[in-house]
Chain A
Amino acid sequence: MIGNDVVDLALAKKESNWQRKGFLDKIFTQKEQLLITSAINPETMVWNLWSRKEAAYKIYNRETGLRGYFPLQIACNYDDENSGSITINERTYFTKTSVSSARIHTIALTNKEAFSRIKKLNRSDAIVKTNGIPFVVCSNSTAVKPVSISHHGQFWEGITLMD
């Protein structure tokens, strides 16, 4: 299963004041807050970790059917700026994050080997939704493949898995 999340950093800066009293405590564990405060650019770290939680939660929600707002239970295991894993209630998801000055994009997978099979979609690709979950229709067959889409500000990222 796949999940992704994109953050438009300029928009995030307008929409959220991450330094607001109590904000970090609601979302990030002590370990994660330490990563933030000791980072060269704490703001980027905030959204890097946040996008990992969001991407992993998308998979968790699709796997379990459970909905809720529990960012503290979505624990980041941070290897480096671009990789790590997320644990949610004994489930583990692997993440890869790309960071630029304008945008952060995280892809989460249940299977670590599958990163090489990720294909990026274009907005013009045929995407259908069933029960709110998007699928893409393959051009060379009638098979539908799972897809994850994320849109924030000027950035749109859609991904699917090739066989």
Chain B
Amino acid sequence: MNKEQTLQELKSIIKPYTQNQEALEILTEDTDFINDLKINSANLVDVILDIEEKYNIVIDNESMERMVNVKAALEIIDTKLASKS
């Protein structure tokens, strides 16, 4: 997985749901979906579904539980993609 590319792809997935475009601009691994990006928690499901669709992976509940920030999202995408190949 090319981390930088995935990060950009993650940014486009998040864009429609974030109430804080500034935080999206300066996104880092530690950026928190709910606290920093102000994504409402119902829309976090949409982010997860979008990620599943884009990468053709399944994010199980255990992984979803940890998906609170960018770092976790990148790790989960990486792990799920790796287990496919």
Binding site for B on A (CB under 8 A): 12, 15-17, 20-23, 26-27, 50, 54, 67-73, 132, 152
- Whether B68 contacts A26 by the Cβ 8 Å rule is no
Q: How far is the CA of A40 from the CA of B68 in the complex (A)?
A: 34
In the A-B complex, the 9 residue pairs with the closest CB atoms: A70-B65, A68-B65, A26-B45, A16-B42, A22-B49, A72-B61, A69-B64, A23-B45, A69-B65
- The dominant DSSP class at the B interface is helix
A69 — which chain B residues lie within 8 A by C-beta? 41, 44, 64-68
Instruction: Output the least CB separation between A99 and chain B (Å).
Output: 17
Q: How far is the CA of A149 from the CA of B41 in the complex (A)?
A: 15
- Whether B41 contacts A54 by the Cβ 8 Å rule is yes
A12 — which chain B residues lie within 8 A by C-beta? 42
Instruction: Output the least CB separation between A78 and chain B (Å).
Output: 19
Q: How far is the CA of A71 from the CA of B61 in the complex (A)?
A: 9
Q: How far is the CA of A136 from the CA of B45 in the complex (A)?
A: 32
What is the size, in residues, of chain B's interface with A at 8 Å between Cβ atoms? 17
CB within 8 Å of A: which B23-78 residues: 35, 40-46, 48-49, 52, 61, 64-68
CB contact between A50 and one of B42, B64, B67, B68 (< 8 Å): that residue: B42
Instruction: Output the least CB separation between B32 and chain A (Å).
Output: 9
Known pairs A68-B66, A152-B40; list 15 more (Cβ under 8 Å): A15-B40, A16-B42, A16-B46, A17-B46, A21-B49, A23-B45, A23-B46, A54-B41, A67-B68, A68-B68, A69-B44, A69-B66, A70-B61, A70-B64, A72-B61
Q: How far is the CA of A114 from the CA of B40 in the complex (A)?
A: 29
Q: How far is the CA of A50 from the CA of B61 in the complex (A)?
A: 17
Q: How far is the CA of A17 from the CA of B16 in the complex (A)?
A: 13
Instruction: Output the least CB separation between A7 and chain B (Å).
Output: 9
Closest to A5 in B: B41
CB contact between A26 and one of B35, B40, B64, B66 (< 8 Å): that residue: B64
B35 — which chain A residues lie within 8 A by C-beta? 132
- Whether B68 contacts A27 by the Cβ 8 Å rule is no
Q: How far is the CA of A21 from the CA of B52 in the complex (A)?
A: 11
- Whether A15 contacts B45 by the Cβ 8 Å rule is no
In the complex, which of the residues B45, B48, B66 has the most CB atoms of chain A within 10 Å of its own CB atom? B45
A67 — which chain B residues lie within 8 A by C-beta? 68
B68 — which chain A residues lie within 8 A by C-beta? 67-69
